[in-house]
């Protein structure tokens, strides 16, 4: 983390901490579903990796929120949902949010990896 000192007469500015992603995100456009406040909500995934994704949603969701997520990944000519047992919102900025995978079963991880490997080859 880079820290900034404020001296008399200087303007203050905000310090942000950035972490390096452990996986490359692949641009995509697919639907995702998630439970929030007892309702099944829908959003759009804009980029995706094995460890997380960036989304836009109709309603903001606060950072730190955890929920089950269904990702609609293309499978030939159709989209099929796969389940992420638990995903956590890492950051939220209005209707945009960054999510990380907290728990995913092996079958879903295999499907996600297969999709990502195919997308990277295109």
Domains of the chain (ranges, CATH numbers): 26-121 (2.40.10.220)
Note the pLDDT tens digit of each residue in 16-43.
444 555 567 789 999 999 999 999 999 9
Q: What is the DSSP letter of 21?
A: -
Distance CA 48, CA 30 (A): 10
Cβ atoms within 10 A of the Cβ of 76, count? 6
Helix (H, G, I), strand (E, B) or coil at 45: strand
pLDDT by residue (tens digit) across 2-14?
Answer: 444 444 555 444 4
Q: Which is nearest to 61 in space by CA: 32, 89, 84?
A: 89
pLDDT digits (tens, 9 = 90+) for 63-112: 999 999 999 998 888 999 999 999 999 999 999 999 999 999 999 999 99
* pLDDT tens-place string over residues 36-65: 999 999 999 999 999 999 999 999 999 999
Task: Provide the pLDDT for residue 24.
Answer: 76
List 62's β-bridge partners, or say none: none
What's the pTM value of the predicted model, to 2 decimals?
0.76
């Amino acid at each position: 983390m880079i820290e900034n000192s404020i001296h008399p007469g200087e303007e203050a500015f905000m310090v942000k901490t950035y972490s390096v992603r452990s996986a490359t995100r692949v641009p995509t456009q697919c639907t995702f579903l998630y439970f929030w406040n007892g309702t099944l909500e829908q959003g759009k995934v804009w980029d995706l990796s094995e460890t997380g994704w960036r989304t836009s949603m109709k309603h903001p969701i606060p950072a730190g929120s955890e929920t089950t997520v269904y990702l609609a990944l293309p499978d030939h000519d159709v989209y099929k949902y796969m389940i992420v047992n638990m995903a956590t919102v890492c950051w939220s900025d209005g209707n945009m949010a960054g999510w990380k995978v907290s728990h995913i079963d092996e079958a879903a991880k295999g499907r996600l990896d297969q999709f990502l490997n195919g997308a990277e080859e295109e």
